[in-house]
Amino acid sequence: MILGALEAGGTKMVCAVGKEDGTILCTETFPTLTPEETLPQLIRFFAGKNVESVGIGSFGPVDLDLASPTYGSITTTPKLAWQHTPIASRFRDALGVPVGFDTDVNGAAYGEALLGAGRGCSSLLYVTVGTGIGGGVILEGKPMHGMLHCELGHILLRPEADDPSPDGFCPFHKGCLEGLASGPALEKRWGRPGRDLGPDHPAWDLEARYLAQMCADVIVTLSPQKIILGGGVMHQDQLFPLIRRYTKEYLNGYIQTPEVTGGMEDYIVSPGLGDRAGITGALLLAKDALK
Ligand code: ZN
């Protein structure tokens, strides 16, 4: 079965052709310009490759309501050129194949649940910490939607007392998770990008506490069987032990499951698929679109 996959990001579009077991046969990356410039390039990539369906994991917000006339669209994104772009139907109409559609992070969560670090879990949370922060949720084996979809990057947090920029930088909420802990927030707070800060810089302890607040909040709300943290900022391996320690501290013994009473080494983990979680998940969305 030959499937198409698109990981549609705000800065780049990753296209791949692969198989239902997650094998990727070929891939190509395009910069995200305007829909008029970029969509024809992406459609040309898939044309002639005999894909039976295409799966799209997209930046958002997106419309995932199957009963909505704008299902499959990018909706109110701050990337103005992409507002109200019916991305799924553009591919369906141009290629004449079924199209599976979800958020980029739900796609990555789905990839991790079936083929990555979350194998065997029926519920999990996947979080990417990078230019933005996004969360994808798997519940009962499927991506969770609900009223809209998870917007975990914008949960409101308690500022840490030693934060030199406790107000945060989100244009909508200032001190939400993304406003306090995204890559750009780190850079604005410390005057240098995270990759230029040494592993012992106090930035990482503070970063870990904000991510631990999120983990503790999600443990008491969604109760996922695993929390997977990916994205560029999480390439800083020193964060994981700190996040586990502070999550435990914030829960303060209230939750007593085997997953969280130990050191949480198997509970708060990095993606098993590495940076391929999103594109692999999009392949799985393509497979589901054929059902
Ligand atoms: Zn926000």
- Residue 43 domain boundaries: 3-106+275-289
Share of the chain above pLDDT 90, in %: 98
117-154 burial, b if ≥16 CB within 10 A, otherwise e? bbeebebbbbbbbbbbbbbbbbbeeebbbeeebbbbbb
Note whether 175 and 157 are within 8 A (CB). yes
**Looking at the domain assignment, is residue 47 inside a domain?**
yes
pLDDT digits (tens, 9 = 90+) for 143-170: 999 999 999 999 999 999 999 999 999 9
Domain count, the chain: 2
CATH of the domain at 258: 3.30.420.40
Nearest to 5 by CA among 34, 28, 39: 28
**Looking at the domain assignment, is residue 28 inside a domain?**
yes
For ligand 1, the distance from its centroid to the CA atom of residue 60, given in whole angstroms, is 14
For ligand 1, the distance from its centroid to the CA atom of residue 180, given in whole angstroms, is 9
**Looking at the domain assignment, is residue 111 inside a domain?**
no
186 and 156 within one domain: yes
Q: Starting from the edge strand earliest in sequence, which strands make up the sheet with 54-58, in order?
A: 24-31, 12-18, 3-8, 54-58, 99-103
200 and 161 within one domain: yes
For ligand 1, the distance from its centroid to the CA atom of residue 170, given in whole angstroms, is 5
Q: What is the CA radius of gyration of the chain?
A: 19
**Looking at the domain assignment, is residue 69 inside a domain?**
yes
For ligand 1, the distance from its centroid to the CA atom of residue 133, given in whole angstroms, is 9
236 and 133 within one domain: yes
**Looking at the domain assignment, is residue 138 inside a domain?**
yes
State residue 71's pLDDT score: 97
**Looking at the domain assignment, is residue 82 inside a domain?**
yes
What integer best gives the mean pLDDT of the chain? 97
pLDDT digits (tens, 9 = 90+) for 36-79: 999 999 999 999 999 999 999 999 899 999 999 999 999 998 88
131 and 201 within one domain: yes
